Amino acid sequence: MIENRTGTGHTRAKVILTGEHAVVYGEPAIALPLASLPMHATARHEPGPLALESVLYSGPLADAPEELAAPRAAIEATLDHLGLPHRDLTLSTESSIPAARGLGSSAATAGALALALADLAGRTLTAQEHFDLVQVGERVAHGSPSGLDARTTASTVPIWFQGGAMRPLDLHLSAHLVVADTGVHGRTRVAVADVRSFRDRHPARGAQLISELGAITRETVTDLRLDRPVLLGERLTRAHQALAELGVSSPELDRLQRTALDAGALGAKLTGGGQGGCLLALAADAASAGTIAAALRRSGAPRTWLHRIDARQPSTSQV
Ligand code: MEV
315: pLDDT confidence band, cut at 50, 70 and 90?
low
Q: Which atom of ligand 1 is nearest to the CA of 146?
A: 9
Question: What average pLDDT score do residues 67-80 get?
Answer: 95
Instruction: Give the Å distance between the CA of 178 and the centre of ligand 1.
Output: 20
313: pLDDT confidence band, cut at 50, 70 and 90?
very low
Res 311: pLDDT: 47
Each residue of 157-176: pLDDT tens digit?
Answer: 999 999 989 999 988 888 99
- Written in H, E and C, the secondary structure of the chain is CCCCCEEEEEEEEEEEEECCCHHHHCCCEEEEEEEEEEEEEEEEEEEEECEEECCCCEEEHHHCCHHHHHHHHHHHHHHHHHCCCCEEEEEEEEECCCCCCCCCHHHHHHHHHHHHHHHHCCCCCCHHHHHHHHHHHHHHHHCCCCCHHHHHHCCCCCEEEECCEEEECCCCCCCEEEEEECCCCCCHHHHHHHHHHHHHHCHHHHHHHHHHHHHHHHHHHHHHHHCCHHHHHHHHHHHHHHHHHCCCCCHHHHHHHHHHHHCCCCEEEEECCCCCCEEEEEECCHHHHHHHHHHHHHCCCCCEEEEECCCCCCCEEEC
- Is a pLDDT exceeding 70 seen at residue 312? no
Question: What average pLDDT score do residues 115-134 get?
Answer: 96
What is the residue with the minimal CA distance to atom 9 of ligand 1? 145
Does 235 sit in the ligand 1 pocket, CB within 6 Å? no
- Is a pLDDT exceeding 60 seen at residue 111? yes
Please report the ipTM that was assigned to this predicted complex: 0.99
What is the residue with the minimal CA distance to atom 2 of ligand 1? 272
Percent pLDDT > 70 in the chain is 96
Does 20 sit in the ligand 1 pocket, CB within 6 Å? yes
pTM, full prediction: 0.93
Question: What average pLDDT score do residues 101-107 get?
Answer: 93
Does 145 sit in the ligand 1 pocket, CB within 6 Å? yes
What is the residue with the minimal CA distance to atom 10 of ligand 1? 273
Tell me what the pLDDT averaged over the chain comes to. Answer: 94
Question: What average pLDDT score do residues 218-239 get?
Answer: 96
Does 149 sit in the ligand 1 pocket, CB within 6 Å? yes
Each residue of 171-196: pLDDT tens digit?
Answer: 888 899 999 999 999 999 999 999 99
Res 3: pLDDT: 75
Q: Which atom of ligand 1 is nearest to the CA of 14?
A: 2
Does 23 sit in the ligand 1 pocket, CB within 6 Å? yes
Q: Which atom of ligand 1 is nearest to the CA of 148?
A: 8
